[in-house]
Amino acid sequence: MTPHDSDVSTISPELPAMFDGMKLAAVATVLYIIVRCLNLKSPTAPPDLTYQDTPLNRFLLKSCPQLTKEYIPPLLWGKSGHLQTALYGKLGRVNSPHPSGVRKYLPMQDGATATFDLFEPQGDHRTGDDITMVICPGIGNHSEKHYIRTFVDYAQKDGYRCAVLNHLGALPNIELTSPRMFTYGCTWEFAAMVGYIKRTYPQTQLMVVGFSLGGNIVCKFLGENSMNQERVLCCVSVCQGYSALRAQETFLQWDQFRRFYNFLMADNMKKIILSHRHSLFGGNPVKTIDLDLGPLYTATSLMQIDDNIMRKFHGHSSLKEYYEKESCVHYIHNVNVPLLLVNSADDPLVHESLLTIPRTLAAKKPNVIFSLTLHGGHLGFFEGAVLFPQPLTWMDKVIVGYANAMCQWEKQKPPLLTRHDQGLTPEGIRAHSHGRILSL
């Protein structure tokens, strides 16, 4: 045996052990990354609530257990706001139903045609009353989206009529009849739908529901004019950002991959706009805007699209003016009907700094409850044991549960109960947050 052979025989037995150690280190690293990315060590908890201690709010929290019990997402992936958001964005919902409705067309004064889908209840409401949910979906969404279909089917079975707005230009098979499409805060189409429901069903009472961008629109609609709150029992807003002006800076940041989501949403908006380019920019004798589409093709953010195109539909002179006038933050304090604002702490689209708006509002106004879940992503809120989510989400259940509680309150309260008796006046009211009493 040569010296060289001796060295090889001495080293060789150690190599497998070294490789095994490297494998273990690699596996440990991968597991650590998975645990961190999926947020597996995060606890489950009830929603963090901010509200004032009034008889109505106590009744609502007692009668709607989803607001006070733990929200438990699927174990393996449900604690990741990104996966919750991605599943909502790609699939919408699991095994979503196909509720049967009738499409309505409403001519607008500027030549536009608003459309909404009307779904009749599948049975009597538990109170025996006629209740209609008027629903405003998220950005570029409509009644055919899976999350809307799932919610409508669930609400129908609980005795609610549902009217779902189709954002102007969002339906691929409906042509625009004027050079205008939906924007961040335009309430014209939603107001037209609500007016139709009030005229057609003079005995009905309204539950107003808005998802994401739709939450901004419904809160702005109610706060713009006090008459818009007539016959409205309550309002629920889910996953909105409240102020586009404050949000624009956060959408350019890479934390929580918000810049990437911004790019994806901008790309979707480009597709919607370009699908209607003939109606919007050419061939129509009455043009709202006349511009070069070059900046649209190269846009990589919603702000670029808003500045080059969207703000011009309503004649705003600047992006700042557009965001200020179309954000509900300037109107929501005028909403006096019971208002439930729902957000998720791991929503990758809504920066935590924006949540001071609903939290402050709920601490100051007795009609507002702000519910912040630990998990849920953006319009996800899936529930499930380990891997597979349930068809119904926590979001679906909490909206219908809150609506049922409001109907029950209205049914059983004494006829002469005043707003002071309900606790809807500021005097002598306490605010609760994190289980603590806040002095106002």
Q: Is the pLDDT of residue 437 over 50?
A: no
pLDDT tier, 124 (very low <50, low <70, confident <90, very high otherwise): very high
Let me know if 327 is a catalytic residue. no
Of the two residues 194 and 423, the one the predictor is more confident about is 194
Averaged pLDDT score across all residues of the chain:
87
Confidence at residue 309, expressed as pLDDT on a 0 to 100 scale: 92
Edge-first strand listing for the sheet containing 339-344 = 102-107, 113-119, 161-166, 131-136, 205-211, 232-238, 339-344, 368-373, 48-52, 431-433, 436-438
Q: Is the pLDDT of residue 286 over 60?
A: no
265 near 378, Cβ under 8 Å?
Answer: no
CA distance 32 to 139: 36
Confidence at residue 36, expressed as pLDDT on a 0 to 100 scale: 54
Q: Is the pLDDT of residue 223 over 70?
A: yes
> How many CA atoms are closer than 13 Å to the CA of 54, on its beta-carbon side?
28
Query: Of 142, 347, 371, 375, which is the active-site residue?
Result: 347
Adjacent-strand bridge partners of 49: 371
Of the two residues 13 and 273, the one the predictor is more confident about is 273
Tokens, residue 5: 């052979």
Adjacent-strand bridge partners of 414: none
Confidence at residue 431, expressed as pLDDT on a 0 to 100 scale: 46
Confidence at residue 96, expressed as pLDDT on a 0 to 100 scale: 84
Query: Of 167, 316, 378, 432, which is the active-site residue?
Result: 378
277 near 181, Cβ under 8 Å?
Answer: no
Whole-model pTM? 0.86
Quote the percentage of the chain above a pLDDT of 70: 82
Q: At what angle do helices 146-157 and 394-412 cross, to 10 degrees?
A: 30
**Three-state SS sequence of the chain:** CCHHHHHHHHHCCHHHHHHHHHHHHHHHHHHHHHHHHCCCCCCCECCEEEEECCHHHHHHHHHCHHHCCCECCCCCCCCCHHHHHHHHHHCCCCCCCCCCCEEEEEECCCCCEEEEEEECCCCCCCCCCCEEEEEECCCCCCCCCHHHHHHHHHHHHCCCEEEEEECCCCCCCCCCCCCCCCCCCCCHHHHHHHHHHHHHCCCCEEEEEEECHHHHHHHHHHHHCHHHHCCEEEEEEECCCCCHHHHHHHCCCCHHHHHHHHHHHHHHHHHHHHHCHHHHHCCCCCCCCCCCCHHHHHCCCHHHHHHHCHHHHHCCCCHHHHHHHHCHHHCHHHCCCCEEEEEECCCCCCCHHHHHHHHHHHHHCCCEEEEEECCCCCCCCCCECCCCECCCCHHHHHHHHHHHHHHHHHHHCCCCCCHHHHCCCCCCCCEEECCEEECC
Query: Of 80, 96, 143, 212, which is the active-site residue?
Result: 212
- The mean per-residue pLDDT over the stretch 214-241 comes to 98
Per-residue pLDDT reduced to its tens digit, 46-94 = 999 999 999 999 999 999 999 999 999 998 888 999 999 988 877 767 7
- Lowest average pLDDT, out of 71-75, 137-141, 202-206, goes to 71-75
Closest CA to 307 of 250, 261, 362, 248: 248
pLDDT tier, 41 (very low <50, low <70, confident <90, very high otherwise): confident
CA distance 215 to 366: 20
Confidence at residue 75, expressed as pLDDT on a 0 to 100 scale: 82
Adjacent-strand bridge partners of 433: 50, 436
Let me know if 347 is a catalytic residue. yes
- Give the pairing of strands 436-438 and 431-433: antiparallel
Positive/negative CA dihedral, 137, 217, 127, 205: negative
Sequence-distant (6+) residues with CB within 8 A of 76 are 38, 40, 386, 387
- The mean per-residue pLDDT over the stretch 257-273 comes to 93
Tokens, residue 138: 């998220």
Per-residue pLDDT reduced to its tens digit, 148-201 = 999 999 999 999 999 999 999 999 999 999 999 999 999 999 999 999 999 999
pLDDT tier, 439 (very low <50, low <70, confident <90, very high otherwise): very low
- The mean per-residue pLDDT over the stretch 241-249 comes to 94
CA distance 256 to 374: 15
Instruction: Write the burial class of residue 318 (CB in 10 Å: 0-12 exposed, 13-18 middle, 19+ buried).
Output: exposed
Q: Which residues of 17-45 are buried (b: 16+ CB within 10 A; e: fewer)?
A: eeeeeeeeeeeeeeeeeeeeebbeebeee
pLDDT tier, 37 (very low <50, low <70, confident <90, very high otherwise): low
Confidence at residue 56, expressed as pLDDT on a 0 to 100 scale: 96
CA distance 69 to 50: 15
Let me know if 212 is a catalytic residue. yes
Per-residue pLDDT reduced to its tens digit, 42-56 = 888 999 999 999 999
Per-residue pLDDT reduced to its tens digit, 8-29 = 445 555 666 555 555 555 544 4
Confidence at residue 438, expressed as pLDDT on a 0 to 100 scale: 43
Confidence at residue 8, expressed as pLDDT on a 0 to 100 scale: 47
Number of neighbouring beta carbons within 10 Å of residue 410: 16
Of the two residues 96 and 162, the one the predictor is more confident about is 162
Tokens, residue 232: 């409205």
Confidence at residue 42, expressed as pLDDT on a 0 to 100 scale: 82
Positive/negative CA dihedral, 310, 315, 319, 321: negative
Positive/negative CA dihedral, 191, 197, 198, 200: positive
